[in-house]
Amino acid sequence: MTIKETIRKYTPRLKFVTHIPAKEVEIMMLHLLDKNTIWLHLNYNGPFEKEKELEKLVKKRETNYPLEYLINKATFYGETFNVKEGVLIPRPETELLVENAVEILKEKSTPVKVLEIGTGSGIISVMLALLIKDIKIIAVDINEKAIELANSNAIKHNVEDKIEFRLSNLYENVKEEDIDMTISNPPYIADDYKLPDNVKFEPSNALFGGKIGDELLKDIIDQTNEKNIEYLLCEMGYDQKKPLEEYFKNFNVEKYSFYKDYEKFDRGFTLQIKK
């Protein structure tokens, strides 16, 4: 069969798991062939010789298994990152968190030090290292597999000299007292929330934040305040703005702001604490 015929054959099998079934079949083919989209389109009428391997990938994808885990790649901020099972898959809305951090950090004239809590695949730290010239980052996670993956992404993007990866539960192994900003995309989903089928394959400890969902977020706020760190930027759940705004009243706050994601849901905040 030609590439074009193969795409037509397998596309219907994915129509109930994705809104772009043909595109996903193409992505799997490119992964197997180690080619780019331009090559694929130029060779549409050429033979496809890896149908058995493709059939295995499509069969697994039919179960709602994430495409990113199948191809071990995800795109974030226009860059390609390594991903693997057992570590949270990067989401487009996290780009907004990075942008908010860059807006603050680029105004600082001195070298800056940033702590990322729950680095996962390392996308936030790597992008900050790429976008801010004079920066040092400590990136922590409780997942050893995540630390290994994040480090591989730092090496892939040539920023390993700017980032130190550590195993740590929040601030447990962070003793530095000169941190300018903490940034985090922590677990913030309530424990009893029913996840969509595709998300069930991702690690639960990177998704669920407690009975209500904001418990871990509040721990991060508490500990950031205790550490006397000026800025805290976090992602949060769409329904957590009011309770967090109320919680901010417990601290000596300079100012704070919330932002919405691409779907216009409340998705994160910037908190500046008086030093």
Least trusted range by pLDDT, from 102-111, 143-152, 156-165: 102-111
C-beta neighbour count of 51 within 10 angstroms: 16
How does pLDDT run across 199-243, given as a tens digit for each residue?
Answer: 888 888 777 787 878 999 999 999 999 999 999 999 999 999 999
Q: How confident is the model at residue 124 (pLDDT cuts 50, 70, 90)?
A: very high
pLDDT band at 196 (very low <50, low <70, confident <90, very high): confident
What pLDDT is attached to residue 211? 80
- Tell how strand 135-141 and strand 163-167 pair up: parallel
Closest CA to 49 of 61, 32, 34, 37: 32
Encode pLDDT of 41-66 as tens digits.
Answer: 899 999 999 999 999 999 999 999 99
Question: Is the model's pLDDT at 269 over the cut of 90?
Answer: yes
Average pLDDT over residues 90-95: 95
Residue 109: predicted pLDDT: 79
Please report, for residues 5, 29, 50, 64, 92, the alpha-carbon distance to residue 15 in angstroms, rounded to integers and kept in the order given.
17, 17, 22, 11, 22
Residue 266's pLDDT is 96
Please state the domain extents for the chain. Answer: 3-63, 86-273
**How far does CA 202 lie from the centroid of its chain?**
12
Q: Look at residue 86 and give its three-state secondary structure.
A: coil
H-type alpha helices, 37-165: 37-42, 51-61, 67-71, 94-105, 123-131, 144-156
Q: Is residue 275 over pLDDT 90?
A: no
pLDDT value of position 232? 98
Looking at domain 86-273, its CATH class is alpha beta
Distance between CA atoms of 148 and 138, rounded to whole angstroms?
Answer: 14
Q: How would DSSP label each residue in 121-138?
A: TSHHHHHHHHH-SSEEEE
- For residues 6-18, one letter each, b for 16 or more C-beta atoms within 10 angstroms of the residue's C-beta and e for the rest, the string is bbebbbeebeebe
Give the C-alpha distances (Å, rounded to integers) separating 251 from 175, 224, 244, 271: 22, 11, 12, 10
pLDDT score for 187: 86
Q: Are 166 and 139 in contact (CB under 8 A)?
A: yes
Q: Which residues contact 56 (CB under 8 A, 6 or more apart)?
A: none
